[in-house]
Amino acid sequence: MSFIEIENLGKTFCSDADTVVALGQIDLKIEDGSFLGVMGPSGSGKSTFLSIMGGLCHPSEGKILVEEIDLYRLSSEKRADFRREYLGFVFQSFNLIPYLTAQENVMLPLAVKKIPVKQKKALANQVLERVGLSHRLTHLPNQLSGGEQERVAIARALVNSPPLILADEPTGSLDTATSQEIMGLFQELNEEGQTIIMVTHNDENRPYFDRTVILRDGNIAEDSNRRPKVVAQAG
Amino acid sequence: MKLETIAFNNLRRRKSRMAFLVVGLLIGVATVVTLVSLSNALTADIQHKMENFGANILLTPRSDTLSLSYGGITLGGVSIDSREIVQADLVKIHTIKNSRNISAVAPKVLGAVTVDNERVMLMGVELDKEFHLKKWWTINGEPAKTDHQLVVGNTAAAKLNLKIGSKLTISGELFEVTGILDKTGSQDDQLLIGSLPTAQRLLNKPGTVSLVEVAALCSDCPVSDMVNQIAEVLPNVEVRAIQQVVKTRMHALDQFRTFSLAIAAIVLLIGALVVFVTMMGSVNERTREIGIFRALGFRRGHVVRLILMESAAVSLLAGLLGYLVGMLATQAVLPFMAEHQVALHWSPVLAGLAMLLALLVGCAASFYPALHASRLDPTEALRAL
């Protein structure tokens, strides 16, 4: 059994005028510890794929199993719990809350957890240190550079130690040098065993992935491994 | 980091929106507080008058004939019935069930005497009680204190050419005028007022009185019950309640209260609408933010709680400020509405009720916006701008 199993996944958007097939039939198995890049031109279904993976958008057909949990057989409130416990999101354009400090933004996924505030702070500080921002705890997002904001967003995704990180165009609004820095950070996290699925249309990010799936018109056009997984070899 | 932190930080950042919400609710709460405390103060004002000014129960000798007197005009020249009230019986008044509501029993004896060939009405009273009861009497000079001192009504003084310090003789006894009443416009202007025992002796009515005024303590004590109770212990006495004036006043106050509650309800409703529209706008503005919360694992219930927490904080603040503003407004308006100086009570209970009212209105008006927020599509957060 793989870490994630996607079977026969399809998504159709219906409107009065016409029907748009966003995803055709996707079958995919993703192993624990992989760094999967999902690429493709705009309109190829990347974002829809990520929304469905994140439990935010109900598929029209098929199913997704994460550690054997059938995501869309959970109630919507249970799926919220699933997101909190199993997923870390890194959104396009960071999506930090403007009136919360870096530390508070990182603590967001813990806000509804019943653990002492002291412990929440310790966890947040730990991941902020991991992404190299321990000196920026009390800064508001608008006092941080683009790269720093991205790091805060990554720290927020890491704070609840989720088995899976979903990243949506994380380098979309960064310059080349900062993009490389951020991709390097993702790679480091992956090498520490973190499973990551990243959606991007930027070819420069491709060398960082150990597996790349290219979508075209909602279907998998290419599925290639760049480097064999160390874990897989050992197995 | 808890939900509260998010709520408070959001309120802190959106200061102008919060101020708008607070003012919207504050006006409603302040209106309610003003009207409630105003009508309370006016009721207290009337009660105060009832307690201090004049009698509200009148005891006269029971008469078998119909009265031939109305508004001071007496037909047939006979106004004083031959029957009188026995003074010794009056102690029975203090044995009635509601005796603790009685603040004063003021007996008086009335009769005609001759002064310098003029017939004039002499009223014998218990001096201390009478001057205490008739607060509206303005006496030039001093109130009478001894048996041979008199206070003279304004018209009588003019007619008899009496001044403060004048001496006069009634039935061979010498009296001194210590005070003259300002014009009252009532029958009091025609009187000579002296002590009860002296008048009883001069009028040859020992141990009897012509009428008794009784002052009951408060506006809402059961005057009609007390009338019945007194009639029971004094079967030969006619007991009547004088409460028409007070009833009219209380009725007007009741109407004012109903009217003010209606106004307050309308103002509160407008306040609730302001909260509703503002919260709805706020939720729509925060679509993306709420999407992020949902994506990060907030349940719908968490989102509802977050929004309600914000409106609860705003409401409590508006309730407290509304109470303060309402009390200050009452303080400003009260002197124009109450005839008597009424102390305003800063009641913590009213403050608590004001905050509770604000909380209820604020949360009720925010409930739909909160529900709407919790139903927003979290994928909005993931879509590119």
Q: Which amino acid is at B218?
A: C
Domain boundaries, chain B: 3-48+249-381, 56-241
Tell me the domains of chain A and their CATH numbers.
Answer: 4-234 (3.40.50.300)
Which tens digit of pLDDT belongs to each residue from B312-342?
999 999 999 999 999 999 888 888 877 666 6
Whether B300 and A168 lie within 8 Å, measured CB to CB:
no
Average pLDDT over residues A44-62: 88
> How far is the C-alpha of B139 from the C-alpha of B122, rounded, in Å?
17
Contacts of A82 in chain B (CB under 8 A): 297
Q: Which of A108, A143, A161, A201 to mutate to test the interface with B (most CBs of B within 10 A)?
A: A108
Average pLDDT over residues A4-32: 85
Give the pTM: 0.70
Residues making up chain B, counted from first to last: 385
> How far is the C-alpha of A53 from the C-alpha of A63, rounded, in Å?
10
For residue B360, how many other CB atoms are within 10 A of its CB?
A: 14
DSSP string, B109-126: EEEEEEETTEEEEEEEE-
Which tens digit of pLDDT belongs to each residue from B260-299?
888 888 988 998 999 999 999 988 888 888 888 998 899 9
Which tens digit of pLDDT belongs to each residue from A147-200?
899 999 999 999 988 999 999 888 888 888 888 988 998 999 999 899 999 999
pLDDT at B69: 67
> How far is the C-alpha of A46 from the C-alpha of A169, rounded, in Å?
10
Which tens digit of pLDDT belongs to each residue from B112-144?
888 888 889 999 998 888 887 777 788 888 888
Average pLDDT over residues A5-12: 89
Of the candidates B10, B296, B300, which has its C-beta nearest A109's C-beta? B296
Tokens of B74: 């007496």
Across chain A, mean pLDDT equals 88
With CA atoms as reference, the chain A residue closest to B384 would be A92
Contacting residues for A17 by C-beta, under 8 A, at least 6 apart = none
pLDDT at B247: 66
Instruction: Reply yes or no on whether the pLDDT at A232 is more than 90.
Output: no
Nearest to A184 by CA among A166, A168, A171: A171
Q: Facing residues of A20 across strands?
A: A13
pLDDT at B222: 72
Contacts of B383 in chain A (CB under 8 A): 47
Which tens digit of pLDDT belongs to each residue from B183-203?
888 888 889 999 999 999 988
Contacting residues for B174 by C-beta, under 8 A, at least 6 apart = B148, B167, B168
Residue B253's H or E segment, with its range, is: helix B244-285
Across chain B, mean pLDDT equals 84
pLDDT at B66: 66
pLDDT at B339: 67
pLDDT at B221: 64
Least confident segment among B43-52, B83-92, B202-211: B43-52
How far is A177 from chain B, CA to nearest CA, in Å?
Answer: 22
Residue A110 contacts B, CB cutoff 8 Å: yes
> How far is the C-alpha of B304 from the C-alpha of B315, rounded, in Å?
16
Vertex B35: Cα angle to B33 and B36 (nearest 5):
65
Instruction: Reply yes or no on whether the pLDDT at A235 is more than 50.
Output: no
Tokens of A106: 């990182």
Average pLDDT over residues B352-380: 90
Residue A10's H or E segment, with its range, is: strand A4-14
pLDDT at B186: 82
> How far is the C-alpha of B210 from the C-alpha of B362, rounded, in Å?
64
For residue B90, how many other CB atoms are within 10 A of its CB?
A: 18
Whether B9 and A107 lie within 8 Å, measured CB to CB:
no
Percent of chain A at pLDDT above 70?
A: 95
Vertex B67: Cα angle to B62 and B68 (nearest 5):
155
Tokens of B366: 């925010």
Which tens digit of pLDDT belongs to each residue from B3-53?
888 888 888 888 888 898 999 899 999 999 998 888 888 877 776 666 665
Where does residue B182 fall: left (phi above 0), alpha (psi -120 to 50 degrees), or beta otherwise?
beta
From residue B350, give the alpha-carbon distance in Å to each of B262, B295, B357, B378: 19, 44, 10, 43
Instruction: Reply yes or no on whether the pLDDT at B77 is more than 50.
Output: no
